Structure 1
Amino acid sequence: MAETPFDLAVIGSGGGAFAAAIRATNLGKSVLMVERSTVGGTCVNTGCVPSKALLAAAEARHVALNASGRFPGISTSAVEVDMAGLIGGKRSLVETMRSDKYIDLIENYGWELRQGNAVFAGGHDDPVLEITGPDGARESIGAAHYLVATGSASWAPPIEGLADLDYLTSTTAMELEEVPESLLVIGGGYVALEQAQLFARLGSKVTMLVRSRLASAEEPDASRALREVFADEGIRVVRRAAVSSVRVDPSTGGIVASATVSGRQEEFRSARLLVATGRRPVTAGLNLAAVGVKTGDGGEILTDNRLNSSNARIWAAGDVTGHREFVYVAAAQGSVAVENAFNNAGREINYRNLPRVAFTTPALARVGMTDKEANEAGIRCECRVLPLEYVPRALVNRDTRGFIKIVADADTGRIVGITAVAKDAGELAAAGVYILEAGMTVEQVANLWSPYLTMAEGIKIAAQSFTTDVSKLSCCA
């Protein structure tokens, strides 16, 4: 075997990579981290942090423009957006968080960082990393175990003419230094939802081309609620739209997209085009086949339930595994992979009650099963959908757009799913995780304490709606 100066070599430096490196160093292991680009991975650099920072700014502008009609006695206004200033502020926040939460931790924990491109070599039984630095210098390094945490990248479908266009992705859109006059968004998932509302609130005229419906993996109630919100905010949502080609209009320099909409051919025009149709694992160029690591059709590393690849010394964590693309999933996987590699812990991650949030306003969040998923799992379910007009917090906010839905097992009363479209829906999903993990029933939740005038009180009221006409409830009663 080749010399193995490190116990663990990690390729990547995002949430999964850092969780693994921290756990390994806490176990007394020597760790090498290799990063070919910017330390911190997707979340802090181009994903969660910058997108939510811009969404918060866009919401502040939206509230300023609309508060006069929402709250009697309040007069507000907003001028055009200084996009360059907004992006500058976003970059400053990202740099601060990258330093505080990533770069500084490397020195604190004491592992080694190499800037460079890593590929596997050496074969199945004796894998090593060949690292090429920014200056072209090469070195070969071995380790007892390896973790691949290279994340994912924006993916675009094979649309005629797309490769010839300067189209936007969720990453490049957040670097624009002026607001597009109009924006065409292809996609209807979480990223598409957030980006569409972001640019609409900054001043773009936004049209979404959606193959089926908004948030198609979520409850139909959620799709309808968000479509109504978007319509109120001037966002046009075109459903059942399959884009066949895109081109530049030579007379305007704008984009022309041809799509089949419910069987008819239509054209859509805009100044810019944003493609938000998902992401794919970044594994190309790692030479995984040379060390016996199998990948799936989308390039994802195929792992067992313990995050081990088809090579016993090579593990994977985060988006590169093809699991749900959340930084908290990546972090959990990184820690578990290290425990299994060095302690033979045999740990597996339970994704059953994994929460997810789209940070639109109102937000969309879910934990557990949808109505459809429960039925497909053989659960005879009973559901209630509580409009926000019955939630006191929404009334005082003067924003009753949305709902809270509970899916319960009709035979036991156990709650198996909660979906919400509401302000602070992410917090409702977090509370829902504890409810589902505890196996609580509708009756138990209906009779628990809940602070008055919180959005979380809506979960209790939704539970009460299984047995009570909540329109006849007094405050707190």
Structure 2
Amino acid sequence: MADENYDVIVIGTSQGGRFLPVDLAKGGRRVALVERGSLGGVCVNTGCTPTKTMVASARLAYQARRGGEYGVRTGPVSVDLAAVRERKRTMVAGARENYASRLAQDGLDLIEGEARFTGPKTVEVALGDGRTREIGAPVIVIDTGSRPRRPALAGAEDIAVLDSTSIMELGDLPEHLVILGGGYIGLEFGQMFRRFGSEVTIVQTGPRLLMAEDDDVSDEVAAILRDEGTTILTSATPERVEEAGGGRVRLTVRTPNGEQRIEASHLMSAIGRVPNTEALTTAEAGIRLRGNGSVEVDEFLETSVPGVYAMGDVKGGPAFTHLSYDDYRILHANLLGGRKASTRDRIVPYTVFIDPQLGRVGMTERQAREQGRAVRVAKLPMSSVIRALETGETRGFMKAVVDADTGEILGAAVLGAEGGEIMTVIQVAMLGKLRCTAMANAVFTHPLLAEGLNSLFAAFDGQD
């Protein structure tokens, strides 16, 4: 039996967990919110807020160096990484304070400590002073997030390997940064530090970057990064890392052309994330986990134990903050609104915050063809968009995939300036079930980047 009982226990404070406990308490429930680390979860502390703050600094450095292209004279551009770090810390602190202020709600108890299940509806919390509290509730929500995956690489345990959290605490610019992984995280940090002034090498095990994207998108992204001076090695498998003297490291990779050794000042791992479930002792509650350690849930976010739910990164799938927020929407509707909202058929967009951005929604061309669908594909280079020409942001392209029979928009990729914002226009059209002809004939403001959608979707008129 628990020492203290609540109506709801929420474990963790990711994007969804930032709002659900407060709303439940406002709805008259007695809620315990358990957090073992910093309030706000990954997004506030080590994800969106800090990384996009640093991306903004990197873009400004890049634009400053391009001043001459616009007739603007600038002197030599350098980056004070410690100042960039301080700006990032200030943004994170402000976001934490904003979140903490929300918790001042009657009926909501914040318990700082690490939670573990002792039964289906009971949780033991290890407090910082060595004591424990046993609490129980008929409804429990797991929202413990994820963390960077450590590389299974010979010698890595003897080397200071950076990850997406620790690299943001550097005060001095790396001379040469090697990044393991050519996914979203690796590319964002790779371009960022290249623009700060570091030599950057990205080592990708797969045959191309961004393996989930279509080949033409991956190829264009690689071309953009290489044009900025980033070295990219694909089909390159890291085999071992060792000290090279003078504080440097030596990475050995196997490539189609044989073994290659890379010496660098810093090594970063960006090979993915793992769910934070190891401390929860879920087996004590009968909660099933998948092979990768994520919590198994149904379309209503309920686990194998009735009344126990999971939301955000810990349940597996795409690790996006906006997906965690949508999980909150579903649980809010079901726990407070008496409805049966679900994850079924939800459209999940995302943006890779390289520059230019890659905004993606719906199916890729490859996915549509693998499903045997008859599709039509249109592409428009950003160099054909008036606004892109005027602003000097002509790299990349827009791409749309539509059903050949119905004209339904199946998906899109926008690799270009504000690509995420332009993609969102297409997402709204998909939510409204507009056909490609509606986008071709819409009146968009001139001259905006989104105006290019007229030309992109008009291209379908000339296809068989």
TM-score by length of 1: 0.94
- Tell me the equivalent position of 2:20: 20
> Is the 1:185–1:207 contact (alpha carbons within 8 Å) kept by the matching residues of 2?
yes
What do the CA deviations read for 1:217-241 (whole angstroms, capped 9, x no partner)?
0122221111111111100111111
Instruction: Give the number of aligned pairs.
Output: 462
Of 230, 245, 252, the residue aligned with 1:235 is: 230
2:110 is the alignment partner of 1:113: yes
Cα displacement (A) at 1:42: 0.4
**Which whole-Å CA distance do the structure 2 matches of 1:4 and 1:339 have between them?**
27
Q: State the Cα deviation string for residues 133-181 of structure 1 (Å, max 9, x = none).
A: 1111211111121011000000023111112210100110011001101
Q: Residue 214 in 1 paired to residue 209 in 2?
A: yes
Among 241, 245, 249, which residue is 2:240 paired with?
A: 245
- How do 1:57-136 and structure 2 match up within 5 A? 57-68=57-68, 70-71=69-70, 73-100=71-98, 102-108=99-105, 111-121=108-118, 123-124=119-120, 127-136=121-130
Moved over 4 A (4+): 1-4, 341-344
Give the match for residue 170 of structure 2.
176
SS at match of 2:64: helix
CA distance in 2: counterparts of 1:18 and 1:397, whole angstroms: 38
CA contact (8 A) 1:34 1:115 kept: yes
2:455 to 453, 461, 468: 461
For residues 278-326 of structure 1, the C-alpha deviation after alignment (integer angstroms, 9 at most, x for no partner) is 1010000111000100101111000111111111121100000002111
Of the three residues 378, 381, 389, the one matched with 2:375 is 381
Aligned with residue 198 of structure 1, among 192, 198, 203: 192
Answer yes or no: is the 8 Å Cα contact 1:119–1:129 preserved in 2.
yes
Kindly provide the amino acid, as one letter, of the partner of residue 224 in structure 1. Answer: D
Which residue in 1 is equivalent to 2:327? 333
Once residues 76 and 144 of structure 2 are traced to their aligned partners in structure 1, the CA distance between those partners, rounded to angstroms, is 41
- Distance, in Å, in 1 between the alignment partners of 2:393 and 2:440 is 24
Q: Using the TM superposition, give the Cα deviation of residue 107 of structure 1 relative to its aligned residue in structure 2, in angstroms.
A: 0.7
Cα displacement (A) at 1:337: 2.6
CA distance in 2, matches of 1:350, 1:75: 54
Contact 2:3/2:133 (CA < 8 Å) preserved in 1?
Answer: no
Distance 2:450 2:107 in 1: 42
Q: Bigger shift: 19-28 or 356-365? A: 19-28
For 1:408-455, what per-residue CA distance to the aligned partner results, in whole angstroms no more than 9, with x for missing partners?
A: 101111111110110101101211211111222111110011111211
CA contact (8 A) 1:67 1:75 kept: yes
2-side partners of 1:377 and 1:27: how far apart?
44
Post-superposition offset of 1:352: 4.1
Distance 2:306 2:332 in 1: 13
What is the identity, as a one-letter code, of the residue corresponding to 2:268?
L
The whole-number CA distance in structure 1 between the counterparts of 2:399 and 2:371 is 18
Change (3 A) 1:320 1:175: same
Q: Distance in 2 between matches of 1:26 and 1:423?
A: 41
Please, what TM-score do these two structures have when normalized by structure 2?
0.96
- 2:449 aligned counterpart, secondary structure: coil
- 1:159 & 1:6 partners in 2: Cα distance? 45
Does residue 271 of structure 2 align to residue 273 of structure 1?
no
Give the CA deviation at 1:459: 1.7
2:61, 2:78 within 8 Å by CA — same for their partners in 1? no
Range with bigger deviation, 278-287 or 79-88: 79-88
AA of the residue aligned to 1:202: F
Separation in 2, partners of 1:377, 1:110: 50
Aligned with 2:251 (options 257, 276, 281): 257
Instruction: Measure how far apart 1:351 and its partner are.
Output: 5.2
Specify every segment of 5 or more residues in structure 2 that has no aligned partner in the other structure, as ranges.
none
Distance 2:8 2:103 in 1: 14
**Structure 1 stretches of 5 or more lacking a match?**
470-477
Given candidates 144, 148, 154, the residue that maps to 2:142 is: 148
